[in-house]
Amino acid sequence: MKYDEIIEDVGGCGLYQKFILTFLYILSVLDGLQFGSLVFIAPEINHRCAIPDLPNDTYEVQDTDHADLIKAYIPQYIEDGERKYNNCYFYSNETLDSNGTMLACNSWVYDKSQYQTSVTSDMNLVCHRAIFTSHVKTAYFVGAFSMFLIGGWISDKFGRKITIASCVLTEGISALVSSQVTNAYLFLFTRFLVAIGGAGCFGTILVYVTEIISIKYRSRPPLALYFGFPIAFIFMSLIAYFIRVWRLLVILISVPFILLALLMIWIVPESPRWLMSVKRKKQAGKILNKMAEINKCNFRYEPEHEIDISKSNGTTVKVWKIFTVRALLKKTLIFMLGWGSIIFVYYGLTLNIGVLAALYTCEHYPTCIRNSSVGFFGGFAEFVSILSPYIMGVSTLVPGRLGKSLPLMLMGIACFVSGIFIIFLPETTNKPMQDTMDEVMNNKHINNK
- Split into its structural domains, the chain has a count of 2
Same domain, 17 and 74: no
pLDDT value for 269 = 93
In a domain, 121, yes or no: no
In a domain, 122, yes or no: no
* φ, ψ dihedrals at 224, nearest 5°: -65, -30
- Is the pTM higher than 0.75? The answer reads no
Give the closest residue to 229 by CA, choosing from 381, 353, 359, 140: 353
- Which domain range does residue 99 map to? 47-113
Work out the burial of residue 172: count CB atoms within 10 Å of its CB; fewer than 13 is exposed, 13-18 middle, 19 or more buried: buried
Task: Give tens-digit pLDDT for 361-391.
Answer: 555 555 556 656 666 666 666 666 666 666 6
- Please, what is the average pLDDT of the chain? 79
Give the closest residue to 445 by CA, choosing from 121, 218, 291: 218
Same domain, 198 and 328: yes
In a domain, 191, yes or no: yes
Same domain, 306 and 439: yes
Query: Per-residue pLDDT for 354 more than 50?
Result: no
Tell me which of 403 and 133 has the higher pLDDT. 133
Across 126-140, 367-381, 410-424, the highest mean pLDDT is recorded for: 126-140
* φ, ψ dihedrals at 47, nearest 5°: -155, 170
How large is the average pLDDT for residues 49-64?
89
In a domain, 119, yes or no: no
Query: Per-residue pLDDT for 53 more than 50?
Result: yes
Task: Give tens-digit pLDDT for 174-209.
Answer: 999 999 999 999 999 999 999 999 989 988 998 898
Question: Which whole-number Å values give the CA distances from 277 to 176, 325, 436, in the listed order?
Answer: 37, 20, 9
Same domain, 237 and 317: yes
Same domain, 101 and 199: no
Same domain, 37 and 62: no
Give the closest residue to 366 by CA, choosing from 439, 285, 316, 275: 439
In a domain, 244, yes or no: yes
Query: Per-residue pLDDT for 41 more than 60?
Result: yes
